[in-house]
Structure 1
Amino acid sequence: MSEQTHQTDYEVLVVGAGFSGLYAVYRFREAGLTVQGFERAEDVGGVWHWNRYPGAKCDSESIYYNFTFSEDLYRKWTWSSRFASQKEILSYLHFVAEELDVKKHFQFQREVVAAFYDDVNELWKVHFSDDVTVTAKYFIAATGCLSKANVPPISGIDQFEGEWYHTGDWPIEEVDFKDQDVAVIGTGSSGVQAIPVIAKEAKSLTVFQRTPQYAVPANNYVYEHDYIDSVKNDRSSIRELMYSTRLGMPTDRREVSALDETKEQREAVYENAWTKGGFVFPTAYNDLLISEESNATAASFIRNKIRSTVQDEDVAEQLCPEYYYAAKRPIFDSGYYETFNQPHVTLVDVKQEPIEVLTKTGIQTTKTLYDFDKIVFATGYDGITGSLFKMNIHGRNGQSLQEHWQNGEAVQTYLGVATNDFPNFFMITGPQSPSVLMNMPVAIEQHVDFITDLILNTREKGSTNIEVVQAAVSNWSKECKTIADYTLYVKTDSWYTGTNIENRKSRFPIFVGGFPMFKQICDQVIQNEFEGFVVS
């Protein structure tokens, strides 16, 4: 390969084979670009390949948690229940890969260890763990927002002689908890889903909780055939609804403040939402994430539900959160609180009894040595930026993305798809996009279409190089912060703010304005000849 002629192995290089990667490779291929996808796993699936932990389910309703760009694809697949399991979602992604015939454009078990922008030859050099380097004009991160597992820095983890797992990196082989003494560390979404399932098998289960959670019933149920048929026959209307709602999926959100109704009316609304389950509860009123007073009504309702469900009063109080409801990721459960009524299940509050070290036989806290056969880390992810930093990406003049964004504490992008000084590098549902605050497949379709159209528009102008204007990045970042500062999100520590990662200062790199507003802004950028981007 002659660098003087600016030759590359591919026009577009895509990293990741989940929802983002599959659609990106398909869309770029259909646009006539030479594209190659790379995935560190042995097959497609992205986060759903790794998240095989017991009880793993999606919290978006399944009829909306799929691609809608193709009517043929939409009609051919049938979901079994309201909230799909990991296994079913993984099957869906395999189905999509086959139907779109994109697997032949992927190389599997190929992990990116570094990527450098070559200023002289204006191309990306991407290095893999097998010491192979691949070049491309466009470098696309389809790595998702939650793909870098966060294993807390607890000393002694290497000396534990039992088996330990992380919910975000679960083995393909089924894990047997029968007749085992098991610990689960963490009570976020994956912990809340896994704990009731593990409790059914384990001889004993000890849950180590740092922060209690507001969990609302999922109320999962099997779909009727007639309902599924009606959904398949109404794809266009459903797609229009998905693209016109804040969350990227239809909800029963009531455009009224919680303070505009009496206590009795609110209790009836919350009770109805609790019974329906899922996102009906967090969208019961339109100001739960804006007004502290409104939020307090929802939080109080859930705490009362916890107290009426958990029989041990002390345990119930330990399970009651005190922060703002839904300012962390809303969690939908299936029997989580009821699990603590079982005699073989124990709750340990690590704020009162911190973990000191893992020993050969288990966990030593400041008060007790607990012996375990297996330990499950349900400690979440280094969200939003972790999967990007993991690839060790360097832009102009060799500056790393970590340096550019001050290790995640000063994230700045334009529309969540690009950042300055990293030419021809694009992120799908990247920082400062709506991403994790909405139904991801909708965001992914919109992002991939935007990036594809941007590249094609640039090529029509006789160029291949795309950069972002610094002012566009600064203005977009200010806009994101201005909107977020009106909400309770920024007043609550969570993986949204990055404070689940040790020694990281709080930041909130998500666009809170809702998907319709975001799409309208992107459409305006397109109409203005991709304002904010420059080609050379």
Structure 2
Amino acid sequence: MLDATSTPKQPERNPVPAQIDALVIGAGVAGLYQLHQLRGMGLKVHGVDTATDVGGTWYWNRYPGAKFDSEAYIYQYLFDEDLYKDWTWSERFPGQREIERWMHYVADRLDLRRDISFSTTITRATYDEDIGRWTVETDKGETIDARYLIGCTGMLSAPLEDRFPGQASFKGKIVHTARYPKEGLELEGKRVAVIGTGATGIQVIQTIAPEVEKLTVFVRTPQYVLPMKNPKYGPAEAAWYKDRFQELKSNIPRTFTGFEYDFKNKWADLSPEQRRAVLEDIHADGSLKLWLASFAEIFFDETVSEEVSEFVREKMRARLKDERLIDVLVPKPGDYGFGTHRVPLETQYLETYLRDNVEAVSVRDNPIAEIVPEGVKLQDGTVHEVDTIIMAVGFDAGSGALARIDIAGRDGVKLAEEWGKDIRTTLGLMKHGFPNLFMTGAPLAPSAALCNMTTCLQQQTEWITNCIRDLHQSGSDVIEPTQEGEDAWVRHHDETADATLIAKTNSWYTGSNVPGKPRRVLSYTGGVGTYRQKCDEMAASGYPAFAMSNASAQQQA
């Protein structure tokens, strides 16, 4: 049995085979499982990753305080009971190092590294319509001929690094949280700036405040936050969740958000006193339950949204007490509703601002103008002098990672150009005009934002695997969404999303954090269980939204 203290093996770089059945881009949660499944089908499959080892998100995001905010025992693979039970977590919400060790455990247990090329970046992929195959190029000068190209590149893996003018002029160290150095940064006794107060920024801020000389936090959009309760796990707790494997495997994939809990209360059925009791009870759980399992009406009904939002604001104000801090750090009525942005869990985050060495600087009405050699300059000319800048400024979510690869489909159509005009997919799994290109964590599926990631990534990779198997059994080797099929999914997605308050909010959920990005709710909002059902129905009915053909037979003819 392995646990959080196990030491991982060190990988070696394997060359990419010149001709394969399937190339998997990414060695995170989705990529590892996808590789395992396709290899089990007997396909010649290979994985590549820019990183030096497995982990995906949990390789790159090694900033101070990085940790789960999904309970560890549900953020796991559920396809193998022994794989699940032979790993033991140390606490409810473990940190990055422990999570990375878990992913090493998975890679070693399934013997995946022998079919992965690390330190390898895909630079270009071109579809050849005559033979129905992809020609893929790497930064190592390799060329791969693959029947299927599968992007397991992550939904938050394209960091917005070049965010402000003048960054190159800064005399100190400047890093994005998603590219935090393995060796860490020496912060003790330093003047440190953190730009951004989303989930990542919050974890950094609450962690580094005690060690730095001065911490200056630049706050643009105040966040609703929930306190985390993170008990340690001993043998009794481990036995408790491991004994629930079959229950979790059955229930988690069918809930609204892919967590173990779900919405059970209806606002209209309860009195004001009963609603308050529900909110208090769930708030005390110390998890994301208030967001994901209190009242579903918070996503649709502005009155309910405001009442629950005020409940959370009240809790935050009570902890801060200071009126100036409340003004800077607590969302105001009319800003946006609780749950329409990503909700962070935190540990004494608000109390961090009560420290003498921490300053919150509002840049809502006085934005950052540029980075200067001495530090951060605001629009009014004020310069905050610092030694280190930590950028927690987010990502080009959903579409960003694949769009940064030069991918050309039929007739040379570029994926980046297509998504630059309109963010469209079919089921968040494929894109019209790009045959045999599958994707996970992409736009218009729950995995783009509104799902416990392992839940949805397992479902998507399993669908892809079954689709390829069905394709072969039908005598075909090429599959592509039809224009009509894609139009139908986009219409359904938009009708579902536009009924929510998420669609009315500016955030990375709608792509509004990236200048020029077409606006669309990136994540399917109809629920994880519903999405799974629709994907299953698509397969069971013979893939009516897709066209299948046999390029090999046509070539021989």
Alpha-carbon distance in 2 for matches of 1:337, 1:149: 26
Native 8 Å contact 1:181 1:203 kept in 2: yes
Aligned-residue Cα RMSD (Å) equals 1.5
**Pairing 1:390–2:400 present:** no
Native 8 Å contact 1:191 1:378 kept in 2: yes
| Partner amino acid, structure 2, of 1:68 | L
| Partner amino acid, structure 1, of 2:433 | D
Cα deviation, residue 182, structure 1:
0.4
Gap change, CA 1:357 and 1:429, over 3 Å in 2 = closer
Of residues 388, 400, 404 in structure 1, which corresponds to 2:418? Answer: 404
| Partner amino acid, structure 2, of 1:281 | L
Of residues 427, 437, 445 in structure 1, which corresponds to 2:458? Answer: 445
Stretches of 4+ moved more than 6 A in 1?
none
Q: What 5-or-longer segments of structure 2 have no aligned partner?
A: 1-16, 550-557
Cα deviation, residue 244, structure 1:
1.9
The corresponding residue for 2:170 is 160
Of residues 467, 478, 482 in structure 2, which corresponds to 1:465? Answer: 478
**Pairing 1:517–2:530 present:** yes
| Partner amino acid, structure 2, of 1:330 | V
**Pairing 1:273–2:285 present:** no
Of residues 55, 59, 82 in structure 1, which corresponds to 2:65? Answer: 55
Alpha-carbon distance in 2 for matches of 1:502, 1:465: 35
**Pairing 1:24–2:34 present:** yes
Of residues 435, 446, 455 in structure 2, which corresponds to 1:434? Answer: 446
Alpha-carbon distance in 1 for matches of 2:322, 2:242: 47
Question: Pairwise mapping of residues 7-406 of structure 1 onto structure 2 (< 5 A)?
Answer: 9-251=19-261, 253-257=263-267, 259-282=268-291, 283-321=293-331, 322-365=335-378, 366-405=380-419
Alpha-carbon distance in 2 for matches of 1:460, 1:8: 25
Native 8 Å contact 1:8 1:137 kept in 2: no
SS of 1:126's equivalent in the other structure is: strand
Cα deviation, residue 506, structure 1:
2.2
Native 8 Å contact 1:251 1:279 kept in 2: no
SS of 2:495's equivalent in the other structure is: helix
Cα deviation, residue 237, structure 1:
1.4
The corresponding residue for 1:487 is 500
SS of 1:201's equivalent in the other structure is: coil
Deviations along 1:110-132, one digit per CA (max 9) or x if unpaired, are 00111111122321111112232
Cα deviation, residue 195, structure 1:
0.3
Cα deviation, residue 235, structure 1:
1.2
Q: Could you tell me the percent identity over the aligned residues?
A: 35
**Pairing 1:416–2:398 present:** no
Cα deviation, residue 80, structure 1:
1.2
Alpha-carbon distance in 2 for matches of 1:253, 1:535: 39
Q: Which moved more, 1:347-356 or 1:21-30?
A: 347-356
How many residues in Structure 1 have an aligned counterpart in Structure 2?
527
| Partner amino acid, structure 2, of 1:319 | L
| Partner amino acid, structure 1, of 2:149 | F
SS of 1:318's equivalent in the other structure is: helix
| Partner amino acid, structure 2, of 1:372 | V
Cα deviation, residue 252, structure 1:
5.5
Native 8 Å contact 1:145 1:384 kept in 2: yes
Native 8 Å contact 2:69 2:93 kept in 1: yes
| Partner amino acid, structure 2, of 1:268 | A
Native 8 Å contact 2:193 2:216 kept in 1: yes
Alpha-carbon distance in 1 for matches of 2:375, 2:493: 44
Alpha-carbon distance in 2 for matches of 1:337, 1:271: 19
Cα deviation, residue 505, structure 1:
4.1
Cα deviation, residue 152, structure 1:
4.8
Of residues 493, 496, 499 in structure 1, which corresponds to 2:512? Answer: 499
| Partner amino acid, structure 1, of 2:402 | L
SS of 1:23's equivalent in the other structure is: helix
SS of 2:146's equivalent in the other structure is: strand
| Partner amino acid, structure 2, of 1:270 | L
| Partner amino acid, structure 1, of 2:517 | R
Cα deviation, residue 12, structure 1:
0.2
